[in-house]
Copies of this chain bind each other. A is one copy, B any other.
Amino acid sequence: MPGYAVGVSPAAEGNPGAVTGIAKMKLDALYSELTVQTGAKLVMLVLDGLGDVATPDQGGITPLEAAATPNLDRLAKESALGRVIPVAPGITPGSGPGHLALFGYDPLEYQVGRGVIEALGLGVELQAGDVCARANFATLDDKGVVLDRRAGRIPTEVCERLCARLQQQIQHLEDTRVIIRPGKEHRFVVVFRGPGLEGPLTDADPNREGLPIPKALPRDPDNPRQQKMARLIELFYRAALPLLADAKPANGFLMRGIAHQPYIPSFEERYRLRAAALAVYPMYKGLAQLVGMTKLEGPRNVREQFERYLDEHDRFDFFFIHHKATDKAGEDGNFEAKKAAIEDVDAALPILLQKKPDVLVITGDHSTPCVVRGHSWHPQPVLLHSRYSGTDRRVRFTEAEANGGSLGVFEARFLIRLMQAHARMLDKFGA
């Protein structure tokens, strides 16, 4: 049977053997081969950081359990439920891996550099091949030794002013366009857009005070595109440092996570779905754009996102709708705010359901438990509703209810395939 792992070949030993032992590329190829267009409408509603844990620290209950969610409850009663492992057991993902996995891309295979994520977060419209670096203003002494890696955390206004000064003077280096975008406090990003560029480079950051700024070097010394990129970083330093000479404590800067926007096969090609993103925050729009989704600008909250979905319903097959407030509340350890963020979505849900999609998934990109005050590894709950989902006889959409669902505990990157199946987009395999 060509195409399958039969027996144990030493090369195939990178081989867990969980529930299926089929080579992943082959599985991807199989999914592609089986995929057909049906015109079905699919919606993936992501409540960022949705999952939580019922610990004594937070009253032995989760925000989903505490929230009044009549609409989600009704939906849960007629849906399939389960839990989603964002990346792998115990791994806590950042937003990049969390969303790529939801979009069906193996987050270990498709890694997005921190510079790229930072640029997306600041709303830079990235193009294929752009190389991004996250940068910090820093304080240097006369000899170029780093005295403060964060330049005393200068106010955001100062950062904005200095970035404008740099951008005004540095528009191009050789054949390459330079885009400088300020962030919060001492943070900014630099994007290099030109032919023949590639990362990753080593950091131009000593990672501690008392040392000079090291040169950014190609990770692969023989790669001419990385060599060119390293030269451009050096030229950027030569041009920029003199412009900051009078700007102490921000008279220098460090550059990290220098990498190009990776090649990611487009969502539409991969799943035969015209996809749109309805996100409020730039980073999530950017992540959706990385896989080729169309960003729909405008909506400022979940109601407006759902209303826009109604408007755009006929133009797209797949809608990624992103709600940020759940994650933010979890990061703050604010149980009441997380509960309220869930209730906001529940209250707006009837708008979305006016044009009930053929397949509706509600989940998170990871858990952000209040007790953790940050992203976590706990599998997020998932609800899948379609004409074919049936009911798992669970009465609410909560973590504990989801544990007993028919979807089990599975990896995020398979969620989109389950959605395709429920949209009848996957043909039978074999006779």
Which residue of B has the minimal Cβ distance to A52?
B390
Please pick, from B96, B219, B407, B408, the residue contacting A431 in the complex, using a CB distance under 8 A. Answer: B96
Asked if A15 lies at the interface with its beta carbon under 8 angstroms from chain B, I say yes
Q: In the bound complex, what is the Cα–Cα distance between A94 and B426 (angstroms)?
A: 13
Asked if A165 lies at the interface with its beta carbon under 8 angstroms from chain B, I say no
Measured as residues with beta carbon below 8 angstroms from the partner, the interface class of chain A is 35 or more
Asked if B54 and A25 sit within 8 Å, CB to CB, the answer is no
Known contacts being A4-B111, A404-B404, is A91 close to B431, with CB within 8 Å? no
Question: How many whole Å from A96's CB to the nearest CB in chain B?
Answer: 5
Question: How many whole Å from A283's CB to the nearest CB in chain B?
Answer: 9
Asked if A200 lies at the interface with its beta carbon under 8 angstroms from chain B, I say yes
Asked if A301 lies at the interface with its beta carbon under 8 angstroms from chain B, I say no
Q: In the bound complex, what is the Cα–Cα distance between A219 and B2 (angstroms)?
A: 8
Q: Interface residues of A: mostly helix, strand, loop or mixed? A: loop
Asked if B407 and A409 sit within 8 Å, CB to CB, the answer is yes
Asked if A17 lies at the interface with its beta carbon under 8 angstroms from chain B, I say yes
A residues contacting B by CB (< 8 A) are: 1-2, 4-27, 30-31, 34, 52-57, 60, 62, 78, 82-83, 85, 87-97, 106-109, 111-114, 117-118, 200, 219, 257, 262, 369, 371-372, 374-379, 387-393, 399-400, 403-411, 413-414, 417-418, 420-421, 426-431
- Give the residue among A257, A393, A413 with the most B Cβ atoms within 10 A: A393
Residues of B within 8 A of A17 (CB): 16, 18-20, 22, 24, 27, 87-88, 108, 411, 414
Known contacts being A87-B429, A92-B421, A404-B403, is A9 close to B18, with CB within 8 Å? no
